[in-house]
Amino acid sequence: MSEDVRTTLLSHLTNRYVDLKRRLTRVLGSDDLAGDALQDTWLRLQRLEGQSPVLNPHAFLLRMAANIAVDNRRSQSRALPPGEIDELLEISDTAPGPEQTAEARSEAQALSRIMERMPSRRREILIMVRWEGMPQKEVAQRLGISLRTVEHELKRAHDYCVARLDEKN
């Protein structure tokens, strides 16, 4: 912005500040928003360069301040209100702590040792149904046994695991 144009606009903003703020307040509906927009306009005028002469400084400054206010509203609408920020900060962390992680690993290792002592077909059925999520009917077809046998072996595997885990505790 040429120095003459910048000086003219800054001078106009200073001399007609009250009128500019009043008009901007009517347009924006907020005295605070109008004041902030005019302050930002002053700062932006300090940084602008390469501006051609302005025919109507009053209209130019009003439009510039209004655009700044709209930009400010947009950026504030993307931010969370303070109440929501407080609510987010109060949310507890549900991730397991070191103690819970160690306990879960210990239980998994105990279950693995218990499953190693099971008959192989029973262990295989338990893994296919509960770990891999295969339907019992598909397990029966894959192993060449009846669905009733799969159901029976699965129940016995569960009972065995529960009984052995209870012994540990």
Amino acid occupying residue 113: R
Are 24 and 74 part of one and the same domain?
Answer: yes
Determine the Cα–Cα distance for residues 40 and 113; give it in Å rounded to an integer.
70
**Close Cβ partners of 46 (under 8 Å, ≥ 6 residues apart):** 6, 10
Tell me the two tokens of residue 119: 């008959």
Are 67 and 106 part of one and the same domain?
Answer: no
Are 73 and 117 part of one and the same domain?
Answer: no
pTM for this prediction: 0.43
Last residue in a domain, options 58, 82, 106: 82
96-121 pLDDT, tens digit per residue, is 788 888 888 988 888 889 899 999 99
Are 15 and 76 part of one and the same domain?
Answer: yes
What CATH number should be reported for the domain holding residue 28?
1.10.1740
Q: Is residue 89 part of a domain?
A: no
14-46 pLDDT, tens digit per residue, is 888 898 889 888 888 888 888 888 888 888 888
Are 75 and 143 part of one and the same domain?
Answer: no
Tell me the two tokens of residue 46: 């300090």
Which range of residues forms the domain containing residue 148?
Answer: 98-168
> With contact defined as beta carbons under 8 Å apart, do 8 and 48 qualify?
no
Q: Is residue 154 part of a domain?
A: yes
